[in-house]
Amino acid sequence: MNVTPSTRTLVPSFWSRLRRGSRIVKQAADWPKFAGEDWPDRILTETVTDLLHEKQGRAIARWTLTNGAGKLIVFLKRHYKLPWVQGLLATLFPRSARSPGLQEWEHLEWAKAAGFPVPRAVAAGQFVGPFGKLQGFIAIEELTGQLPLHLAVPLATERLEPAAFERWKRGLIAELARIARELHRRSVFHKDLYFCHFYIDESLTRTVPESWVNRATMIDLHRLGRHPWLAPWFRIKDLAQFLYSSEVAGVTARDRLRFWKRYRELWSRGAPGRWMELFIRWKWKLYRRHGARKKRKVA
């Protein structure tokens, strides 16, 4: 991805930062052509209502921008009120990413450099101060024409013949196991490794591709983190989340066993053993219990 250098507006002293604030913004090379050169001054107040979802001081909405050269569609995530402690830390350490948007930008940059298929972030930043206030945002290009797996797999069940669907699943399972293993061998964990956070092109629900490599795009990396000392625990959480969220039409117990077997086979050494499988099953049951409680509350 072609990214222009970061733009930072920082005042020299701590007391000036505390009273006046500071900001960090980042952008892809083509972003100002769609958003305008003054976009950092408008990004938090811009009216964006398409697919708007608001909750607890944050909002996400779909934003369509056009210019003479074409169209750019992004999902704009904005955090209007973040914890004061994080604002204070951002004031003390003005080059650090303390807002979820700027952190997700860094995580996406790392993932892309490491070879993972992820969406393109086109702008991100954080606004610090005055006096500990912290806000942030990120704009991520829409995966146009793609579907999350919890919708794509049931759709493929309907569109493909049974034998073709089985081949389709085997290839997809191998690719998802590869992505999980590539993350985990680096002691990096998604922390929201759900089916809905993998997208594939809608056209793939109609055919069996020759190769699934890099055909499943991983999204929502704002919680991504490296934890070498706590790797077993976070591996258990990631895999339990994934298996729990795979409970959709078209996915069977045999498919989950195939995923687990493939995941283990990819480790030349240090493959998770029986004890980890037991802990994953335990955590999986906890997620199922929690999900059932939420459904009862909604009902």
The model's pLDDT over 13-42, given as tens digits with 9 standing for 90+, comes to 777 777 888 889 999 999 999 999 999 999
Residue 1: pLDDT over 90:
no
Over residues 75-94, mean pLDDT:
93
Q: Is the N-terminal amide bond of 130 cis, ω within 30° of 0?
A: yes
For the purposes of burial, counting CB atoms within 10 Å of the CB of 193, is it exposed (0-12), middle (13-18) or buried (19 or more)? buried
Q: What pLDDT is recorded for position 292? A: 86
Residue 175, SS3? helix
What the block records as the tokens of 127 is 């606004």
Residue 282: pLDDT over 90:
yes
Asked if 212 and 172 touch (Cβ cutoff 8 Å), the reply is yes
Over residues 64-80, mean pLDDT:
95
Query: Of 46, 127, 143, which is closest to residue 94 (Cα–Cα)?
Result: 127
How far, rounded to the nearest angstrom, does the alpha carbon of residue 1 sit from its chain's CA centroid?
Answer: 17
Q: What pLDDT is recorded for position 17? A: 76
User: How many CB atoms are closer than 10 A to CB 124?
Assistant: 29
Over residues 92-98, mean pLDDT:
91
Query: Of 25, 40, 18, which is closest to residue 89 (Cα–Cα)?
Result: 18
Over residues 192-215, mean pLDDT:
98
What the block records as the tokens of 118 is 């992820």
More confident residue, 132 or 229: 229
Q: What pLDDT is recorded for position 169? A: 98
Question: Helices in 114-249 by DSSP H: which ranges?
Answer: 149-159, 162-184, 231-245
Residue 9: pLDDT over 50:
no
Residue 118: pLDDT over 70:
yes
Q: What pLDDT is recorded for position 272? A: 78
User: How many CB atoms are closer than 10 A to CB 37?
Assistant: 8
